[in-house]
Structure 1
Amino acid sequence: MWNLKTGKLIHTLSGHSDDVKAIAFSRDGKTLASASWDKTVKLWDVETGKILRVFEHSDAVRTVAISPNGQILVSGCQDGKVIIWQMTSGKLNIPLAAHNQAVSSVAFSADGQTIASGSYDQTIKLWNFQTGQLLHTLQGHQKAIYSVAFSADGQTLASGSADTTIKIWRLSNENVTSILPRPIPIMISKPSN
């Protein structure tokens, strides 16, 4: 970790036994989560550099996000699972058999109620974080999805893909509002009840 004002190194956090694939700060900046190929997510105290908690997984962890309120952690794994954890207790809340291929990106909406997961299976899935219920599956990318991000108002989701496009999804009406740089057909499906 670096001091942005001075450019000096504050901490080097060591504790993983394999590649660190993703990191995420809590909104208050006091906690950092790190996802690793060593099948763990580690929670770090930013001030001391000490490990607060270790979340064990059954496969390599590619991505991690912390909820806006700092209470929930979500991780995405090589085996296609999305896992929702309670940060304070370390309790596994909900494991989701989410995707057919690796989960490459996860994100919380600004209100913390919805989780988006993007995958190598070319889909984005939206989840209710409280229940783990699948809300929507967004399709339209032609290759793996590498990144997903919500807008500040939670009404728009952006996804970036190996197909060289960024798609902008308007979530309030479930339509794509624009596709960059070239348009291709899209499909949105709701889970059948």
Structure 2
Amino acid sequence: METMIAWAPDGRRIASGSDDKTVQVWQMGSTATVAEIETYRGHSLWVVTLAWSPDGTYIASGGNDATIHIWDVGRKETALIYRDHPFGVNALAWSPDGTRIASCSWDNIIRVWDVVTGNTLFTYHGHSNWVNTVAWSPDGTRIASGGRDKTVQVWDAVTGHVMFTYHDHSSWVYTVAWSPDGTRIASAGNDGTVQVWQAV
């Protein structure tokens, strides 16, 4: 069963994650055909989330095995594995400049990683329950997150200091997304609502 899918920035490839513990890369053909071109194996449990780097050279994947794998698409190999989460990774997102990754987990914590070294730059502890989603602002200065504590939180992507907390969802927050100009955030939750917030 495929659990996650994402287009490459060039629009010609698709990456998918699966409950068979693999990440697969597919090439779009000229006649709406799709051909598998690579399978990455390394996770020991389901792959839950994945994302392409902004330049399309890497794929980051996170899974129920509590690891994040950075796959070098050109070399077809694992570049790094991040292991600081003690529980499964729910979501991850690349910074717009491709130098950092934010990830969230069942441990209620968000980690921001240095892509090159794999070191945790800082952790964000503002949520009181599982964190389900993370998203960088288009300018890379802020991160929005949402979780089972029914909140959407916006915080500084360098210091980790919280800037805003939104409390209007009556149940879990599943996903958040920034507007292209970075002035608004849309959030969707288990309460059946999609809400749009002013982020500035």
**1 or 2, which has the higher strand percentage?**
2
Pairing 1:50–2:77 present: yes
Pairwise CA RMSD of aligned residues?
1.0
Q: TM-score, normalised by structure 2?
A: 0.83
1:140 to 168, 185, 188: 168
> 1:3 aligns to what SS in structure 2?
strand
Give unpaired runs (5+ residues) of structure 1. 173-193
Task: Measure the CA separation in 2 of the matches of 1:68 and 1:3.
Answer: 24
**For 1:17-32, what aligned pairs fall within 5 Å after superposition?**
17-32=44-59
> 2:61 aligns to what SS in structure 1?
strand
Task: Measure the CA separation in 1 of the matches of 2:165 and 2:76.
Answer: 38
Pairing 1:126–2:154 present: yes
Q: TM-score, normalised by structure 1?
A: 0.86
**For 1:6-21, what aligned pairs fall within 5 Å after superposition?**
6-21=33-48
> 1:13 aligns to what SS in structure 2?
strand
Letter in 2 for 1:72: R
Task: Measure the CA separation in 2 of the matches of 1:46 and 1:122.
Answer: 36
Task: Measure the CA separation in 2 of the matches of 1:14 and 1:45.
Answer: 13
> 1:43 aligns to what SS in structure 2?
strand
Detail structure 1 runs of 4+ shifted over 4 Å in the superposition.
Answer: none
Quote the offset at 1:160 in angstroms: 0.8
Pairing 1:99–2:127 present: yes
Number of the residue aligned with 1:109: 137
Task: Measure the CA separation in 1 of the matches of 2:46 and 2:95.
Answer: 24
Number of the residue aligned with 1:179: none
Letter in 1 for 2:136: F
Letter in 1 for 2:41: S
Task: Measure the CA separation in 1 of the matches of 2:129 and 2:46.
Answer: 19
Task: Measure the CA separation in 1 of the matches of 2:37 and 2:134.
Answer: 27
**For 1:52-67, what aligned pairs fall within 5 Å after superposition?**
52-56=79-83, 57-67=85-95
Aligned length: 172
Identity over aligned pairs, percent: 34
